[in-house]
Amino acid sequence: MSGGLTGSWAGDSSSAPPMAQGTIPFLGTFLTELVMLDTAMKDHVDGNLVNCEKITKEAKVLQEIQLFQVAASKYNFQREEKVEVWFHSREWLSENESYNLSCLLEPRQRRDSSTLRNRKISS
């Protein structure tokens, strides 16, 4: 994780405060990793034993998210009134409208019974 003080201000206690630099990650990256883990790894191994390797990897992804959340709690954002007015003036799609538009733009592909989830469970 990147962050902290940079440049000539690091370690300097003069009148101008240093700027903290942080990262705002794309949540989709973490969600994709969690889906890939869920798809690629079995929930149980050797019969009915819990797959500890899978749980450990999922926990590491969740810990990364938590680290970013802690860092983000220290960010100090100023409201931009023009952006806020624009945002609240928009007409947003409902979840159903959004789903229908998504299917229109990218139709669902019909799959047979060998979906990734079925392959994971049976293997």
pLDDT of residue 76: 85
CATH of 7-122, one of 2.60.120.260, 1.10.840.10, 2.60.40.10, 3.30.70.1060: 1.10.840.10
Determine contact, residues 5/20, Cβ cutoff 8 Å: yes
State the SS3 of 44-101: EECCCEECHHHHHHHHHHHHHHHHHHHHHCCCCCCCCHHHHHHHHHCCCCCHHHHHHH
pLDDT digits (tens), the chain, 123 positions: 444 444 444 444 445 455 556 778 899 999 999 999 999 999 999 989 999 999 999 999 999 999 999 988 888 888 999 999 999 999 999 999 999 999 999 998 876 545 554 545 544
Domain residue spans in the chain?
7-122
pTM more than 0.85: no
Contacts of residue 101, defined as CB under 8 A and 6 or more positions apart, other chains included, come to 93
